[in-house]
Amino acid sequence: MGLQRAQVEAEEKRKTIAEQQDQERRTSQYKAQLESELYQKKLADQQKQNEDWLAQQHQQFLRQEEIRKKNDVEVEESRRRTLMEQMKLQRDNDVARAQAEADGRIKQERENVDVHLRSMRAKAAEERKTKLDTINATLGSLGSGFRSLLDDKTKMTALVTGLTAVALGIYTAKAGTKVAGNLLEKRLGKPPLVRETSRKSWSRALGLGRPASTNMMEKIVLQDELAERLQWTTNSIINAKKNGTPFRHLMLYGPPGTGKTLFARTLARQSGLDYAIMTGGDVGPLGKDAVDEMNRLFAWANTSKKGLILFIDEADAFLRRGRMSSSSNMSEDARNVLSTFLAHTGTENDKFMVVLATNVREVLDRAVLDRVDEQFEFPLPEVEQRRQMLDLFMDEYIRQPTKAGKVIEVDPSIDSSYLDEVAKRTDGFSGRQMSKLVLAYQAAVFGSGANKLTKGLADTILNWKLAHYEGDVDTMQRHEAEELKAKAHQIVE
């Protein structure tokens, strides 16, 4: 019994010890869990404090950036106001100076009027006396000579013969000069319809003038497919000139400001031909004389030794349809000049080629379209072409020094990314409008007096151009062309 009791007590003691150990283990685990949760909470609190601090720093940076932008805008606005005030002050000073100078001259003239009158009277009296003495002496000499001539029959006969010979010589010289003048005019004289040409004219032949300089580095930014077609055409013209084969007539159509005239000039330079530029709007005001001037134009073109590219801008002004319709409002003079043009372009020749340019191809007479061997559409530039134009015009008008050696400083923020954004925002702009935009940057810099193109100034100019886009001449001409095109389609239907 004693042994069993001892075993029971030992077992109870072992269980008690095990229970105590288990309780201590659970207590230790709970304590460790509490410490871990406390540490995690401390980390979360620290992270939240860091996030709050970063948010405060970000808000402070945004406030400072907003203040900086506001200050930049205020500086730009103050600069513009100062510029406007300076211009107004300069204008007022110029007006006041001119008025003061005019008043001074008037006062001086009034004070000296008596002196002028006396001087004029004395001068007139002296001139009158001199002329009377000269007339008396001349008449006396003529009278004595005439009496001597009447008394001598031999002298009288010689005089009559001499006068007859002089008269005949004058008449012959006059007629010969007229014939020679006509020949030279036909060879060298520029027809009135031609506004610009690379051929020699009267003034250049006589050394009285020189042709306008052309920039051989001019570039045309076009879509790849169109540029490739135009290059093929240029090569074919060069080969036609070399081989003496007939030239082909071309048509360039599309919105204004897309490079049609520039291409015609470049085509002439690359092909080695002369070029002449005329505008269709100049034909109508000539009235009945238009036919004679058109004949004179093509006669002049046929005399070109190098070959001539005749570029007719705004061809639809006098080559539009309606010639065969009795119900059209085309005048008889317009019909006649259209028929004259068709007569001169109806056969192949190796003397000249015609390049027509029009905003609306659909309104041209069908016979005119039949004369054209190849047509090219010059569309508005896409974003890629506008981006290339920005680089081209920025180099030409902003980054390069002016003729006076002045260099414009460009803000670093006007970088490639900024120009990409400008190219996207100028959707619908023609090449000429892109050129005008960059020229407006240049004018704004020179007008501000700061000699620096900032992003704020560039944005101001761009926003102004976008706001006045519909009022731009090129835009209005495009709308007019679209209306004419729609009417032409309605007539055909």
Question: What confidence score (pLDDT) does residue 291 get?
Answer: 94
Question: What confidence score (pLDDT) does residue 294 get?
Answer: 94
Report the alpha-carbon distance of residue 398 to residue 439 in Å, rounded: 8
* Strand partners for 376: 252
Interval 423-441: pLDDT, tens? 999 999 999 999 999 999 9
Q: Record the pTM.
A: 0.59
Nearest to 402 by CA among 448, 343, 443: 443
Segment 233-251 shows an average pLDDT of 90
- Confidence bin at 449 (pLDDT 50/70/90): confident
- Report how many helices (DSSP H) and strands (DSSP E) the chain contains, helices first: 14, 8
Is the CB of residue 264 less than 8 Å from the CB of residue 277? yes
Question: What confidence score (pLDDT) does residue 204 get?
Answer: 45
- Confidence bin at 277 (pLDDT 50/70/90): very high
Question: What confidence score (pLDDT) does residue 216 get?
Answer: 38
357's enclosing H/E stretch is strand 352-358
Domain range summary for the chain, segments of one domain joined by +: 59-111, 112-151, 228-377, 383-492
Report whether pLDDT(39) > 60. yes
176's enclosing H/E stretch is helix 153-188
Question: What confidence score (pLDDT) does residue 266 get?
Answer: 83
Mean pLDDT of all residues belonging to the chain: 80
Report whether pLDDT(215) > 50. no
Is the CB of residue 439 less than 8 Å from the CB of residue 392? no
- The yes/no answer on whether domain 383-492 falls in CATH 1.10.3720.10 is no
Segment 216-230 shows an average pLDDT of 75
Give DSSP secondary structure letters for 366-418: HHHHHH-SEEEE-PPP-HHHHHHHHHHHHIIIIIS--TT----EE-TTSSHHH
356's enclosing H/E stretch is strand 352-358
Question: What confidence score (pLDDT) does residue 371 get?
Answer: 92
Give the residue with greater pLDDT, 165 vs 256. Answer: 256
Give DSSP secondary structure letters for 213-250: P--TT------HHHHHHHHHHHHHHHHHHHHTPPP--E
Question: What confidence score (pLDDT) does residue 104 get?
Answer: 60
**228-377, what's its fold?**
Rossmann fold (3.40.50)
Interval 357-410: pLDDT, tens? 998 888 899 999 999 999 999 999 999 999 999 999 999 999 988 888 888 999
Question: What confidence score (pLDDT) does residue 278 get?
Answer: 93
